[in-house]
Amino acid sequence: MDAWTYLAFVAGALTSTGYLPQIVKGLRTRRMDDVSFLMPAVLGFGMFLWLIYGLARHDPAIIVANVVGASFTTVLVAMKFRYKSSQTPI
């Protein structure tokens, strides 16, 4: 692998793990009231498109980064449903 491929893997690791702090916080507090549905939906769709692009280009850095990112997005959305607040906003 060349330096650009290493750079792509590092960039992918950083951007793909961006959801981890929110996931950890949600697991600790069992609350996801401050997480919107729209943000992970839009980013998840973008990751899906990047994944298709990575598969078409046979680029492992893009593929791995977006599979991991999409997995974390799925976890975040599942937690949003699981820890759904029963309170109605005023």
Q: What is the pLDDT along the chain (90 residues), one digit of tens a residue?
A: 899 999 999 999 998 888 899 999 999 999 988 888 888 889 989 999 999 999 999 999 999 999 999 999 999 999 998 988 655 454
Q: The whole model's pTM is what? A: 0.81
What pLDDT score does 87 carry?
54
The shares of helix, strand and coil residues in the chain, as percent rounded to the nearest 5, are 80, 0, 20
Q: CA 31, 36, 41, 47: dihedral to nearest 10 degrees?
A: -80
Rounded CA-CA distance 32/41 in Å is 15
Q: Which CATH number fits domain 3-82: 1.10.10.10, 1.10.10.60, 1.20.1280.290, 3.40.50.620?
A: 1.20.1280.290
pLDDT value at position 23? 93
